[in-house]
Structure formats: structure tokens, C-alpha cells
Chains A and B, each alone.
Chain A
Amino acid sequence: MGLDEIKIGGLGASRRRVEDNRFIRGKGNYIDDIVLPGMLHMEILRSPLAHARIKSIDATKAWAIPGVRLVLTGETMASRNLAWMPTLSYDTQAVLATDKVRFQGQEVACVVADDPYIAKDACEAIVVDYEPLPVIINPQQALAPNAPLIRDDKENQRDNVVFDWVVGDKDGTDKAFAKADVVSKLELHYPRSHPSPMETCGSIADFDRSTSKLTVYMTTQAPHIIRAAVALVAELPEHMIRIVSPDLGGGFGNKVPVYPGYVASILASILLERPVKWIEDKTGNLISTGFARDIYLRGEMALRKDGKILGVRMHTDSDHGAFFSDAQPSKFKIGLMHSAFACYDIPAAHLTARGVYTNKAPGGVAYRCSFRVTEAMFFQERMVQAAADDLGMDQAEFRRINFVRDDDFPHRTPFGFLTDSGQYGKCLDVGLEAIGYQDFLRQKADAAKKGRLLGIGISTMTEPLGAGNSREYDILGIKMFDSAELRVHLTGKAILRTGAKTQGQGHETTWAQIVAHELGIPADDVTVEEGDTDTAPFGMGTYASRSTPVAGAAVAMVSRKIRAKARKLAAHLLEVSEEDIEWELGRFYVRSSPDRGVTIQDCAMAAYTNVPDGLEPGLENNAYYDPPNLTWPFACYIATVEVDPETGVWDVLNMVAVDDCGVRINPMIVEGQIMGGLTEAYAMASMQFITFDSEGNCVGSNYMDYLLPTAWETPGFELHEVVTPCPHHPIGAKGVGECATVGGPAAFVNAVMDALKGTGVRNIDMPLLPDRVYEAITQRHDVSGAPPVKMDDT
């Protein structure tokens, strides 16, 4: 029998969160809360222009302001070989501009002063003389003949192309199209968006000359990657670098890249030998850091009359801004875009992807997303709806007949991934039932007679989480495994550390639950620590919903190693041989007399007080987990909407989410993740985008222009679950953080497009702002491109 797993806070317990105890008291420890003795403050001067040559920088007046300690410019950085830094995608990025600025908001100079107000004053006192250059704001302009060269700093760069990448089976796909009864086409734009956590980025660099040790407190989702990067960029020995990621006020992918502010604060601290704090303001965050999406997608689907999909072709043009600095697995230039159509049984597919430089902030980060899967799944589900419409088929039925069936696993996807589990049809059924599909179709038909526009949108998808196995996944050559270290103290309490880094996902709560599940140590007896590279084992951090699939697996594996050693101690205590011992949650007992047993706590005590000959004392271990495959959760999101034909405003009537993320460690937290994700999905579909005018001015540099939904706009969500355990994960979990953000947007857009069915409108690009919807309804045409700059402006 063993212990009651739910009572000890094991797997499946909706355990209340440990971290909340400090957050609800205002005792979190975020970057800006940290104060070090003698600390100075750094501010960044940014470029007002999107593309310009720097003729001169005069900082004399800034130096003269009392309290100013240091002014850094590109020149200072260059003299230390730090004007440029390598990105996580084999490109280079300017730390402080030397030759020219390439996007609005680019870092031009930094001031370090006694307080942040003085530093800001001094930034304003710096005079920069710019010579404006022609500006490129989208791929169409970037690829035009004779387009100005943005990256003239790079020796072999002759055009604005970052990469050209191809995957899939061209011949097979051509043949599929030759056989098609119907070819359905779709072209769309996924607008530029910003992950925009409530907390901006920041760092405190603290270089101690007496020990040569550099400690950097930093808002990073991946502290170990940062340590490696600093070791390479600053040429400091890695053991003399300590990166500490404190409590993070959200991340969502924004806190993965290495930003110039971090590097400048490090150099400032080395030069001044004092701690230097840099806290980015919101505008700095929105205009210069990790953008997402901004991609033009087009494709076509070869269809048989009976609804079978025969093949798919896709092409993407992605806008990476001035530097290719988003972290993608090295092998995959357009991330995991080729996970598109993975839940459908499609014989052949082909994808070409082109990335370009523009005069915009570096973009393309995985915003609550596994490397471009959001764009992939959005295209997939919009394409599927368009195809169903072209065939005149019911959109649910069209999906069902093309789904990979439950008994077809493992299944090779059209682009070569291996999916291993799922119950797609069942998830769809649960969703249709919950939303009342047939009823709604009747309501819709009745409403139509009265001139009301109702619509229903479905989005179903399986996406790859948990990057990833070392055969295929690395960033800068570093393999994407993860780690956990567990120390059980003599009284049976424990501390667990992992290479991941929580940003609100609740690792401090859930990792302890995995230990409880594996060892029977109550979760309340396990402290969880992450984010300090001096103490945490090496790991690749938290993004791409990889924590549970990779670090979470490592937690289970290290617990099992501890259990294996505890078994030896138990045998010693019970004076029987190991083979005669059985395990139940929290306790070893003698098989032939189950009453004779010792608890895991007894074993822990013995590890320090009563160790048999030949056994090493202590009870601690670590595990590095290299996942055999990605994990493949499945989700079905269904939204119903009403569109007001008079105004173009649309309201969500109902939203149902069915998530199969495998075994749920803490159902309360899983549901919290799904609701948060659905809200970001709704945000993207309805209001959230960042655009640029023809001069490259960022429209969306603050929360008055960049709209995020509040409690008032956000609809309610109804959540359901299906559980198909992951066959290769030690506890059967698949990960969940991003699923709703990835799959959600298409449900809302499909719903609005369904409401407009029959008007001849095939596509409105996100966000579906009322004026765009109104334009589509009244003009009866598609509305495409990034507002307000339309594609035909180019």
C-alpha cells in the first residue's frame, strides 16, 4: 500500500504553491529588489532612427553631470573587443553601435551613475549625430533588387537573406499535387508580437577584483547558457562566472537571448569595480528585446474529393530584424516549423523557408512556443479550415478523417518527426460535446436568418515539446539535455536543484511532487532551488515547454538513483539481501514478512549513521536526462463567436479547451498554464501586435499602443482533459506551458472566418481588429498584412 500519494503531495495532487508564500506577502526577490553595497545604476541611450550612420557621439556634457561615473559607447566597447557579440544562432549582434544603427531602439551608449535618475539625465545629455539611411521594414522590401544592405558589417553578406532552408519530399509532394482533385491555397501573415512579461529585463553585475569572480544577477530563463556565453564573449574563465537568475516576473521567451544591457553592465562593473544595476524600462523592453512571429506564410494543400489530404506545400518569409539573435536549435533554421501537420496523416509535404534582415529589432524568439511551432500550427489550422470550406465539408469531420489514428503510433509525420501517442479523435469528441457542436450549428443557421453572424472555430494540433534529444537538438553546439541533483539529509528532508528556471510555472512546487512520487518523501519536506549556476547542475533552462519533459524527467531519474541506494541501506537495516526487498511508496519491506520494513527516512538516517561496509556514505546523486524523443501533447480548442456586422466587433461566446498533456503532476498548475496560454492566444487573435511605420518607427512601444487584454476583455474558458501518457517519459508527462498559446489563435480566427463564410472573405490577418473585420464585411475582400502598413505599400 504505502503512503497516500495525494496526502504527501505526490503526482496528481493540486498542491498549493510553495512560492506563493513569499509572492502574496510582497517578499519575492525580483532583479530590481536586489540591492548590493555600493551599487551604481546604468541606463541605456537608444537610437531614435531605424537605420543611420553614426557620424559622431559627444558625451562631454554627460560626463560633466555630478554623480556620473562612466559613459560607455561603441568605441569603449570596441577597444575591449566587445562592440559585437555572438548570438545564440551563429550570427553577431552589436552591443553598442559603432558604425551605424540598424533598428529603432538599438543601444548606442550607456551611462553609469549614482542613481537611475542621474543616469537618465546624462543619457539625454549625450549628443549623437546621425546620417539617416533608407529603411527596410518587411521581407518584401528586404528582398527587392538593389535593396540597401543592412548587414554591411558582415564580410560575405551580399544581400539581406539570413538563411534559405528546405525540408521535406519535393518529388513526392509534386506527385501528390498532380493527383489532386482540388487544390486549396492560403496566404497569411502572423504579425510581430512581443512576449512582454510584466517585469522587464535587467541585471546586476558585480565584479570582485580581489577574487576575480564575476557574479551577475540577471533576468534569464537559461542561466547556464548565459554563463557559457559570457565565458566566450568576455573571455573570463567559466569557474569565475556565477550567474544568478532570481525570481522572474514572467519570461515567455523574452528572457532567453543575451541582451546588450547585460554585457554593458558587466563591462561597467569590471571597469568600476562596483556592482552595476541595469533595469530596462518598458519602452526599452518593447522596442529592443526578443520579438516573436513576424512571418509571411503561404501554402497549398492537395486534396481528394472525399476529403483525404494528399500533400502540402509551404513557404515562409520570416523577418528577423537586424540581427539573427533568437535561439533556435542549430540544425533548424526556422525552428520547428516543420512540425506543421503532424497530427494529420499526410503522405508528402515540402517546406521552403527564407529568413531576412530588416531594420527592426531582432525577432523570432520562441514566445511561449517551441521554436516557431506557433506559426506552424496557426498556418496548419487555418489551412485545414480553408480546405474543408473549399471541399464543402464539415470542419470537424474533415479533421477526423485525416487524423492519425490511435493505433497508428508510432507515426512518421510528413516532415519526418516521429509522434508516439495520442487519442486525437477522442479529444475532438470531448471538445465538440462540451461546446454543443450540433446545437450551435442550428443556432447559427437560425441567427443567420435574422442577419446575425455566428461562427465556430476549431483548432486541433499535436506539437513537439521538450527539446530535445542530443542527436538533433543543440544551441551553439551545446546539447539540449537537462539535469537534477538531489541531496537527502539525514532526517529524510531533501534539497533538489535542477538546470531549469521557473518564471511562474511553479517548479518549486511541482518538482517536489515528483520526488514525493518516486521516494515517498512528502513534498513539503523537499526544498527546490534553481537559477544559481554555482549550485545548480548544468541545464539548458526553461522555455519551449521543456522543463517537465526534460528537467522533470531528470528529477524522476535522480530520485530513482536515490531509491536504488536506499534499497541497499534498507537491506542492511533489515538484515536481508536486496533481492528479498520490496518497495511501496515511502517504505521498503521484506517480501516474506511485509510487516518488517523501514521507511525512506530510516534509510536516510542510516546513510549518515549506519552504513554497511563497502557502501559509500551519504544519500545524494545527480542525473542528466537526454530524452529519447520529443513529447507530443495534443490539444483541441473550440471557440464560438458572434460578429457584429455593423461594427466589426466580435465577442467570444464560449471557449472550450481539451488538453492531453499526458500525466498531470499538479492539475491546478496545469490548468493555470492553459488559461494563461489561452489568454495570450486570444490576445494575438484580437488585439496584440507591434507594427512599424515606413520610417521604421515602432508602433507599440508602450502599453497604450501595444494592447494586452485585461480581465475585462478576456473571455472565460472551460477546460477538459484527456490523458494519454507519454510512452518514453519516466512519469508519462508531456509538458503543457505553451500548448494553448500555440493552438489557441486559430480557434478564434477560424470562428470569425466561419461567421463570415459566404461573404467571399477567405482571410483576415491577425489581429482581427474591428476595423479590419468591418472592412472585410463591407468591402467583401480579404484583409492582409501588418496594420497599418499593408503589403501593397511596398
Chain B
Amino acid sequence: MSSLYVEVSPEPASDVPVRRVTITVNGEPRTADVEPRLLLAHLLRSGFGLTGTHTGCDTTNCGVCTVLFDGTPIKSCTMLAVQADGHEVLTVEGLAGASELHPIQEAFKDEHGLQCGFCTPGMMLTAKAFLEDNPDPTEDEVRWALSGNMCRCTGYQNIVKSVLAAAEMLRAKAGN
């Protein structure tokens, strides 16, 4: 324990079970003691302070909580933190490099692929995993890939454009 100070509740709820988990988040191992019922989304947000992962619907429908779990998009509102023990999670905060944005981030800005920005982190992470599988997709393929992520602002057209533009950038990069 390296903390200088940890507050301890005077009346600990003794029967609350706690489990220790270690999750590699954005490349860095993070360890926490969690209640088994804690959702991964809440650990990322409240525990690790990574508030770029949002929560919206609580029912696995909207996708604003999407993160990459060992490279695959999952809805972190429907996974328990304990299930992520020993796994790798990538959140929006891990998308950009030290000095430059990820091409998907550039493309979303360039093509006006976001308005309120609430769905954006989830959209971008879904798009990242998708483009790794399918670097040269058609518009229909993009639409299908994004169908687990809802957006209420943009009408999707510019999101689709963003993903296609990002695909082109990524292909150009890979060609170099």
C-alpha cells in the first residue's frame, strides 16, 4: 500500500465481500479491490477515473460504454469488473498516441462525426476493432458494424463517412 492515507469507515459493512482484480487498462496494469457486483464500466469511471467511457442505457443496447476487451468491443455496462481480471481493456483515453491522435479520432473531427460527443468514444472503439478485421469496408459493412452503437445527434451519415475516411488513412499508413 503506497497511499499516504486511506480513510477507513468506522462501521465497516463486514459482510460485503471484496475481490482483488488486476486489469491491464490502456497498457498499464491496474489493481483494485472490488465488490463482485461492481460493473466494469463503473470501475473504469469511478475507480480509475477514466470518464471517457460513458454509461447510457444499462441494458446493453446503446453502446456508449463500449471498450475493447482483449481487442474485442464489449459493453462494459454488462460486464462485471471481476470478469475482467487478468484481461486487457482499451478505453478512449488509450486511443491516441503520446503526441498524435489516432486516425479514427482525426476522421471523426474532420467529417463532423460527432455532435454532443456522448456516443463518440464507444463509436470510435467499435470502429477500431472493426477496421482491424476489415480494413477496406463498404458503407453497408460499416453501418452493420456500428449497429450496436446508438447516436441520437448525427443521423449516422457522418459517422459512417468518418469510419470510411479513417479506413483510408489507416490503409495509407499501413502501405508506408
- Name A's B-contacting residues (CB within 8 A): 16-17, 19-28, 30, 32-33, 35, 66-67, 117, 196-200, 247-250, 252, 281-283, 503-506, 668-669, 671-672, 675-680, 702-704, 708, 710-712, 714, 716-717
Contact = CB atoms under 8 A, between A and B. Distances in A.
Nearest to B145: A711
Of the candidates B12, B13, B118, the one having the most CB atoms from chain A within 10 angstroms of its own CB is: B118
Nearest to A28: B117
A702 B57 CA distance: 7
A504 B153 CA distance: 7
Interface in B19-62: 35, 37-38, 45-46, 50-59, 61-62
Contact of B109 (A24, A247, A669, A717): A24
Contact of B93 (A26, A32, A283, A671): A26
B52 A25 contact: yes
Contact of A668 (B56, B93, B112, B120): B112
Interface in B121-149: 121, 124, 142-144, 146-149
Contacts, number: 177
Contacts of B57: 282, 702-703
A712 B144 contact: yes
A200 B45 contact: no
A119 to B, nearest CB: 13
Nearest to B108: A24
Contacts of B12: 66
Q: Which 6 A-B pairs have the closest CB atoms?
A: A26-B52, A23-B117, A249-B118, A504-B116, A504-B115, A26-B92
A746 B53 CA distance: 37
Contacts of B154: 672, 675-676, 679
B153 A676 contact: yes
A274 B159 CA distance: 41
Contact of B112 (A17, A282, A680): A17
Contact of A30 (B9, B61, B115, B118): B118
Contacts of A671: 112
B110 interface: yes
Nearest to A114: B9
Contacts of B120: 23-24
B105 interface: yes
Given A20-B117, A504-B117, A675-B154, A25 B93 contact: yes
A32 B53 CA distance: 11
22 contacts: A16-B112, A17-B109, A19-B117, A25-B92, A28-B117, A33-B45, A66-B11, A117-B35, A196-B152, A281-B58, A283-B58, A505-B115, A506-B115, A672-B158, A677-B155, A702-B59, A703-B57, A708-B152, A710-B146, A710-B156, A717-B155, A717-B157
A32 B159 contact: no
Given A198-B119, A702-B57, A704-B59, A252 B148 contact: no
Nearest to A679: B155
B156 A679 contact: yes
B74 to A, nearest CB: 17
Of the candidates A22, A27, A668, A712, the one having the most CB atoms from chain B within 10 angstroms of its own CB is: A712
Given A711-B156, A714-B156, A197 B116 contact: yes
A676 B108 contact: no
A225 B158 CA distance: 34
Nearest to A27: B52
A198 B58 contact: no
A710 B114 contact: no
B91 interface: yes
B96 interface: yes
A503 B118 CA distance: 10
Nearest to B106: A24
B160 interface: yes
B64 interface: yes
Contact of B62 (A30, A198, A712): A198
B82 interface: no
B92 A714 contact: no
A702 B13 contact: no
B59 A250 contact: no
B173 to A, nearest CB: 18
B61 A712 contact: no
A197 B115 CA distance: 12
Contact of A711 (B59, B143, B152): B143
B115 A716 contact: no
Contacts of A676: 115, 152-155
B53 A26 contact: yes
B153 A250 contact: yes
Given A26-B93, A248-B116, A249-B117, 11 more contacts: A23-B114, A26-B53, A32-B51, A33-B45, A199-B118, A247-B117, A249-B64, A676-B115, A676-B152, A711-B149, A717-B157
A117 B37 contact: yes
Interface SS of chain B: helix, strand, loop or mixed?
Answer: loop
A409 B110 CA distance: 40
Interface string B147-172: 11111111111111000000000000
Contact of B101 (A24, A117, A677, A710): A24
A710 B147 contact: yes
A26 B91 contact: yes
B150 A708 contact: yes
Interface string B48-88: 00111111111101101000000000000000000000000
Contacts of A35: 46
A514 to B, nearest CB: 19
B107 to A, nearest CB: 9
A717 B160 CA distance: 12
Contacts of A704: 59, 61
B59 A25 contact: no
A712 B143 contact: yes
A200 B55 CA distance: 9
Contacts of B156: 675, 679, 710-711, 714
B150 A703 contact: yes
B62 A703 contact: yes
Contact of A702 (B53, B61, B118, B155): B61
A120 to B, nearest CB: 10
A716 B158 CA distance: 10
Contacts of B45: 32-33
A635 to B, nearest CB: 15
Of the candidates A26, A281, A708, the one having the most CB atoms from chain B within 10 angstroms of its own CB is: A26
Contact of B160 (A22, A197, A711): A711
B152 A250 contact: yes
A282 B58 contact: yes
A712 B144 CA distance: 5
Contacts of B38: 117
Contacts of A668: 112
A235 B143 CA distance: 51
Contacts of A30: 51, 54, 118
Of the candidates B118, B146, B153, the one having the most CB atoms from chain A within 10 angstroms of its own CB is: B153
Contacts of B51: 26, 30, 32-33
Contacts of B147: 710-712
A669 B13 contact: no
Nearest to B117: A23
A669 B76 CA distance: 31
A671 B153 CA distance: 12
A257 to B, nearest CB: 18
A199 B56 contact: yes
B158 A675 contact: yes
B109 A16 contact: yes
Given A27-B52, A282-B56, A282-B57, A67 B13 contact: yes
